[in-house]
Amino acid sequence: MADAKLVGLPPGAATRAPELVARLAAALRAKGKGYLPRTRHRDAEGRPLYTNRLILEASPYLLQHAHNPVDWYPWGDEAFDRARRESKPVFLSIGYATCHWCHVMEEESFEDEEIARFLNQHYVAIKVDREERPDVDGVYMAAVEALTGGGGWPLNVWLTPQREPFFGGTYFPPRDGMRGMRRGLASILTQLDEAFREDPVAVASQAERIVAQVRESLEAPPGVGGLSAAQLQQGADQLLATYDPVWGGFGGAPKFPRSVTLEFLLRYWRRSGSRAALEAVTTTLDRMGRGGVHDQLGGGFHRYSTDERWVVPHFEKMLSDNALLATAYVEAWQATGDPGFAQTARETLDYLLTEMRSPEGGFFSATDADSEGEEGRFFVWLPQEIDAALPSEQAQVVKAYFGVTEAGNFEGRSVLWVPRPASEVAAELGMSEDRLASELTAARTTLRAVRARRVPPLRDDKIVAGWNGLTISALARAGFAFGEPRYTRAAAETAGFVCARMVDRDGRLLRSFAAGAARHPAVLEDYAFVIAGLLDLHEATQEIVWAQRAIALQALLAAHFADPRGAFYATPDDGPQLFAREKPDSDGATPSGNSVAIQDLLRLAELTGDERYRGDAERALRSFSGLLTRNPTAAPRLLSALDFYLDVPKEIVVVVPGSARDPLAAAEPLLDRLRRSFVPNRTLLVGAEGGGLDAVAALSPVAAGRRSEGEAPTAYVCEGRVCELPTGDPAAFARQLEKVAKLAPAG
Alpha-helical segments (H) within 275-413? 275-290, 319-336, 339-355, 383-389, 392-401
Helices and strands: H and E segment counts in the chain: 30, 19
Distances in whole angstroms, Cα of residue 219 to Cα of each of 143, 250, 287? 13, 28, 38
Cis check: omega of the bond before 154, within 30 degrees of 0:
yes
C-alpha span between 316 and 302 (Å, rounded): 5
Amino acid at 709: E
For residue 349, which of 148, 536, 158, 488 has the smallest C-alpha distance?
488
For 133-145, write each residue's pLDDT tens digit. 999 999 999 999 9
Distances in whole angstroms, Cα of residue 555 to Cα of each of 306, 531, 565? 42, 11, 17
H/E segment holding residue 714:
strand 714-719
Question: What pLDDT score was predicted for residue 711?
Answer: 87
Question: What pLDDT score was predicted for residue 220?
Answer: 63
Q: Is 47 left (phi over 0), alpha (psi -120 to 50) or beta?
A: beta
- Asked if 666 and 522 count as a contact pair (C-beta separation under 8 A), the reply is no
Question: What pLDDT score was predicted for residue 223?
Answer: 65
For residue 510, which of 530, 536, 533, 490 has the smallest C-alpha distance?
530
Any residues with CB less than 8 A from the CB of 598 and at least 6 apart, and which? 567, 617, 620, 621, 638, 641, 645
Is the pLDDT assigned to residue 744 strictly greater than 80?
A: no
For 577-626, write each residue's pLDDT tens digit. 899 999 999 998 899 999 999 999 999 999 999 999 999 999 999 999 99
Count of beta carbons in the 10 Å neighbourhood of residue 701: 15
DSSP state of 180: G
Any residues with CB less than 8 A from the CB of 257 and at least 6 apart, and which? 249, 288, 293, 301, 304, 321, 325
Distances in whole angstroms, Cα of residue 8 to Cα of each of 70, 106, 162? 12, 19, 30
C-alpha span between 77 and 58 (Å, rounded): 18
Question: What pLDDT score was predicted for residue 67?
Answer: 98
C-alpha span between 403 and 420 (Å, rounded): 8
Q: Is 42 left (phi over 0), alpha (psi -120 to 50) or beta?
A: beta
H/E segment holding residue 521:
strand 517-521
- Point out which residues pair with 413 in neighbouring strands: 410
- Tell me how far the alpha carbon of residue 661 is from its chain's centroid: 38
Question: What pLDDT score was predicted for residue 1?
Answer: 58
For residue 550, which of 563, 569, 564, 536 has the smallest C-alpha distance?
536
Question: What pLDDT score was predicted for residue 104?
Answer: 94
C-alpha span between 357 and 367 (Å, rounded): 12
State mean pLDDT over 674-686: 97
For 522-548, write each residue's pLDDT tens digit. 999 999 999 999 999 999 999 999 999
Local structure of 373: helix, strand or coil = coil
Q: Where does the pLDDT of residue 341 fall: very low under 50, low under 70, confident under 90, or very high at 90 and above?
A: very high
Count of beta carbons in the 10 Å neighbourhood of residue 658: 16
Is the pLDDT assigned to residue 747 strictly greater than 60?
A: no
C-alpha span between 513 and 59 (Å, rounded): 9
Walk me through the domains of the chain, giving residue ranges and CATH numbers: 3-218 (3.40.30.10), 258-460 (no CATH), 479-646 (1.50.10.20), 650-738 (3.40.30)
For 226-279, write each residue's pLDDT tens digit. 899 999 999 999 999 999 999 999 999 999 999 999 999 999 999 999 999 999
710, burial (CB in 10 Å: exposed 0-12, middle 13-18, buried 19+): exposed
- Tell me how far the alpha carbon of residue 491 is from its chain's centroid: 16
C-alpha span between 623 and 634 (Å, rounded): 15
Among 176-190, 277-291, 462-476, which is the least confidently predicted range? Answer: 176-190
State mean pLDDT over 547-556: 98
Backbone angles phi, psi at 70, to 5 degrees: -70, 135
- Asked if 404 and 414 count as a contact pair (C-beta separation under 8 A), the reply is yes
For residue 705, which of 734, 685, 675, 728 has the smallest C-alpha distance?
685
For 636-672, write each residue's pLDDT tens digit. 999 999 999 999 999 999 999 988 889 999 999 999 9
- Asked if 672 and 685 count as a contact pair (C-beta separation under 8 A), the reply is no
Mean confidence (pLDDT) of the chain: 95
Is the pLDDT assigned to residue 66 strictly greater than 60?
A: yes
State mean pLDDT over 183-201: 97
Cis check: omega of the bond before 572, within 30 degrees of 0:
no
Is the pLDDT assigned to residue 365 strictly greater than 50?
A: yes
Question: What pLDDT score was predicted for residue 660?
Answer: 84
Q: Where does the pLDDT of residue 681 fall: very low under 50, low under 70, confident under 90, or very high at 90 and above?
A: very high
Among 218-227, 500-509, 575-584, which is the least confidently predicted range? Answer: 218-227
Give the torsion sign (CA, 588, 539, 361, 523).
positive
C-alpha span between 675 and 667 (Å, rounded): 12
Is the pLDDT assigned to residue 433 strictly greater than 80?
A: yes
Alpha-helical segments (H) within 514-624? 524-541, 544-561, 593-608, 611-623
State mean pLDDT over 149-162: 96
For residue 590, which of 233, 249, 134 has the smallest C-alpha distance?
134
C-alpha span between 390 and 441 (Å, rounded): 12
- SS (HEC) of 374-398: EECCCCCECHHHHHHHCCHHHHHHH
C-alpha span between 422 and 119 (Å, rounded): 57
For residue 739, which of 677, 688, 665, 692 has the smallest C-alpha distance?
677
Question: What pLDDT score was predicted for residue 366?
Answer: 97
Question: What pLDDT score was predicted for residue 576?
Answer: 85
Q: Where does the pLDDT of residue 373 fall: very low under 50, low under 70, confident under 90, or very high at 90 and above?
A: confident
- Asked if 67 and 39 count as a contact pair (C-beta separation under 8 A), the reply is yes
Is the pLDDT assigned to residue 313 strictly greater than 70?
A: yes
